[in-house]
Amino acid sequence: MTTIGIIAEYNPFHNGHSYQIQKVKKQSNADFVVVLMSGDYVQRGIPAITDKYTRTRMALAAGADMVLQLPLQLSTASAEQFAYGGVSILHRLGFIDGLSYGCETQQPSLLIEVAKFLSAPPKEYEESLQSALKTGLPYPLARQNAIFAHHTPLSDCTPEEIQGFLSSPNNILAIEYEKAKLTIPHCHLTSLPIYRENNYHDTDLTSTFPSASAIRTQYKITGHLENCQDCIPDTAYPILAEAERKSFPVEIDDFSTLLYYKLLQTSQYDIYEDCNHSLEKKIIKNLPSFTTISAFTDLLKSKELVHTRIYRSLLHILLSVKKRASEEPAPYVRLLGSKRSACGLLKQTNQIPVITKVADAKQQLSPTSYAQFKKELDTAHLYRRICMDKFGYDLGSEFQHSPIIIQDEK
């Protein structure tokens, strides 16, 4: 029996995601595809455009066999922490044989080479990286330059080629996945890279597989979900359409008043994940000009601070996600949904608690882990309250939600 894992956001689920699931099953002859998905908040530092249960139903309807939730502190983390945390969970589940990820290169071996380089970089690389950061370059660009200068397999590439290779969000995550596999002791996961034909940032809905970013952008422009219907699998589209004006679309600026109040009440910001002293000073200086989160992010942006880093910092302040003293492994994972045939997989894991019922979590987890889980529930309830205020629709309490179990197709 073969089971392949995918780490995803599905923000929202679209044809490209369905293609990956089907391609993985065909290439690996997999019996099951298990998705480790972000919950109500995603890695770019914004809320998911629709709630995690809607995205779970879309994924199951379009071919996934099980959906597990990536804990909040990982789902909103930097690419390195996001990837390491996700790969670590898949490894610890015990029943996952391989990891599939999208990439924007037809040379996946190059991703592995760069991952090997970054997992044990030479001193010269570290010196170049720190020197570039001191000049005010943002970390992604500083790292690009340092890799290009010191990684031999890339020496035949032009600066333009290496910039394209290392600036692609999918390639960045792919490298981090491979680096995590090298770092985690005895990691047994094989790699199944899937070439992604369109660019992550492409806003064109006419490409082969329009991105989630394109769907979000086009919906924001037109306000009509029907314009995006061809980009979403026929089995999943009615699920998203049903969520419209109930839990879709949720946007970062829906949280603006809450964040503004939190910033007023908080005297120290750099205790929160992703926020440093430099950003803290800029927040304090510009707080009187706060209008919305997106406008405030534009105001805080600088040469060394990119939008995503600022969004993540502000979201962590809002949700009280503080910096961790150490990179401890995720203390739990939560089942969001499954096909009935895949439910037996959970009997094979004993290295990480799998929460199937919220009310039972206190008995499953240590006091420290339960306190983290309880805080995550609070952030989920905040998301649901935003939906109530915006759409007038009550999504109910997290305690009322059992995992979504569906029958397999005959």
pLDDT tens-place values along the chain, 410 residues long? 899 999 999 999 999 999 999 999 999 999 999 999 999 999 999 999 999 999 999 999 999 999 999 999 999 999 999 999 999 999 999 999 999 999 988 888 889 989 999 999 999 999 999 998 888 888 888 888 888 788 766 656 766 777 778 888 899 999 999 999 999 999 999 999 998 865 545 556 766 688 999 999 999 999 999 999 999 999 999 999 999 999 999 999 999 999 999 999 998 999 999 999 999 999 999 999 999 999 999 999 988 888 999 999 999 999 999 998 767 789 999 999 999 999 999 999 989 999 999 999 999 999 999 999 999 999 999 999 999 999 999 999 999 999 999 998 75
Is 182 part of a structural domain of the chain?
Answer: yes
Q: Is the N-terminal amide bond of 249 cis, ω within 30° of 0?
A: yes
List the CATH number of the domain containing 239.
3.40.50.620
Indicate whether 211 belongs to any domain.
no
For residue 69, give the 3-state DSSP assignment. Answer: strand
Q: Residues 49, 78: contact at Cβ < 8 Å?
A: no
Q: Is there a single domain that holds both residue 178 and residue 77?
A: yes
100 and 24, same domain (yes or no)? yes
- 65 and 49 in a common domain: yes
Last residue of a domain, one of 319, 338, 372: 319
| Secondary structure (3-state) at 67 | strand
Distance in angstroms (rounded) separating the CA atoms of residues 167 and 176: 13
Q: In terms of domains, do 350 and 364 share one?
A: yes
In a domain, 84, yes or no: yes
262 inside domain: yes
Domain-located, residue 279: yes
Domain that holds residue 356: 3-104+173-198+231-251+326-406
Final residue of a domain: which of 264, 285, 319? 319
Structurally, the chain folds into a number of domains equal to: 3
Are 33 and 75 members of one domain? yes
- 224, part of any domain: no
Whether residue 278 lies inside any domain: the answer is yes
DSSP state for residue 331 in the 8-state scheme: S
Last residue of one domain, picked from the residues 149, 167, 185? 167
